[in-house]
Homo-oligomer: A and B are copies of this chain.
């Protein structure tokens, strides 16, 4: 853990180390992924089944690629009632927030007599990738599927790897809560290839979302352009701005909730009271003694954790904006006035009783958020990822008379004479 103070001479240089990219340096998997995509495009289901045998030790035929309705029901029914209630509450809150997010169409006739419009249209089909094994989080299924559903996407196809054929009851229960019933037990680059280009069994989609390992991320990069993709997530991060009126243990637990995700995760406390910060750091050490994921959380805190001591909250806001962090907790007396100074954050959590974990599950806003300082220009997942806009212009003779001559003049200036003629020939005919 690093300890910084804004009143120290080397603050800027030490801050820039903290702001540096934490992404793992990965050996390139571009070549094997290219081969997998080519094989799936050429051989369709056969390639999908072959790769699944090889990578997931699971023999499939085109008939068993899809998880049947019976299997989904059988697995989902294994989830206990209390957990099912929690999933349902989460889904209902996520759905409500994303429904509130839905944008309105635009249409108006202006003084020149042109009618201008903009219409939001849901994508026809979306592919949702869900990682297998330990990273198969049911909450991610909700956060990816529900915005698509609310946007009005007609078809949501899910791919989830099932190593050794083992199905994940919670993931299938989450899918059922979201009304997703088209689920294939394939993963990796081969699943992304199937969703992008289609096979006899899996029809192609228009956009692929959801997290995955390095092969999945590279496959999404390679199919991008043919279909849309979401952003490639980096390691997670939180900045917590807290005064000394907070319970140090709560702040420590919030820091550790971030750190337990990943050794590359970053948890940062910004406060104006060094003594309070020391109590938080002690509480972190105490909790690490009993935390199940202490190995991961401890390494994240040691390597990337930080405490920043500021003189005042204006300074804290400026530093939080520099971090442009995925998550920002504001544990101050008047969190809203602090939040008004924030320009860059994926999601903000206001108040002493609003840990980031609220937003991971049951808050309502999406938990798929921009990492690695990309909140400077990027946003969390939303209904906007599953809608596209088309604009319309309607002009009658008078409208064309109002704007056509200027258009023809600009077209000629740009050397585009057919453009100019398409306007001026009509204007001539109208007289």
Contacts and interface: CB of A to CB of B under 8 A. Distances in A.
Given A225-B232, A349-B393, A350-B392, 13 more contacts: A83-B410, A114-B358, A114-B364, A115-B350, A124-B376, A207-B377, A256-B422, A257-B418, A349-B394, A357-B411, A359-B391, A361-B410, A363-B403
10 contacts: A100-B116, A116-B363, A121-B343, A170-B413, A293-B416, A342-B390, A349-B395, A354-B400, A355-B426, A362-B406
A358 B400 contact: yes
A345 interface: yes
A332 to B, nearest CB: 12
Interface string A79-120: 000110111011001001100110100101010101110100
Identify the 6 closest CB pairs spanning chains A and B, nearest first: A365-B391, A228-B377, A86-B406, A350-B394, A354-B395, A256-B418
Contact of A403 (B249, B362, B391): B362
A353 interface: yes
Contact of A425 (B96, B250, B346, B400): B250
Contact of A404 (B228, B254, B358, B421): B358
A139 interface: yes
A29 to B, nearest CB: 17
Given A124-B376, A206-B377, A287-B418, A116 B364 contact: yes
A211 interface: no
Contact of A97 (B116, B254, B351): B116
Interface string A134-153: 10011100000000000000
A347 interface: yes
A253 B393 contact: no
Interface range on chain A: under 10, 10 to 19, 20 to 34, or 35 or more? Answer: 35 or more
A380 interface: yes
Given A116-B365, A353-B399, A257 B419 contact: yes
A396 interface: yes
A139 B411 CA distance: 9
Interface in A371-395: 372, 374-380, 382, 384, 388-395
Contacts of A431: none
Contacts of A370: 388
Given A206-B377, A377-B206, A389-B380, A291 B86 contact: no
A270 to B, nearest CB: 17
Contact of A354 (B83, B354, B399): B399
A410 B353 contact: no
A349 to B, nearest CB: 6
B410 A90 contact: yes
A396 B353 contact: yes
B257 A422 contact: yes
A56 interface: no
Contacts of A350: 115, 392-395
A411 B361 contact: yes
A430 interface: yes
Contacts of A124: 343, 376
A414 B138 contact: yes
Interface in A138-173: 138-139, 170
A353 B227 contact: no
A5 interface: no
Nearest to A321: B124
Contacts of A115: 350
Given A343-B121, A422-B254, A422-B357, A415 B110 contact: no
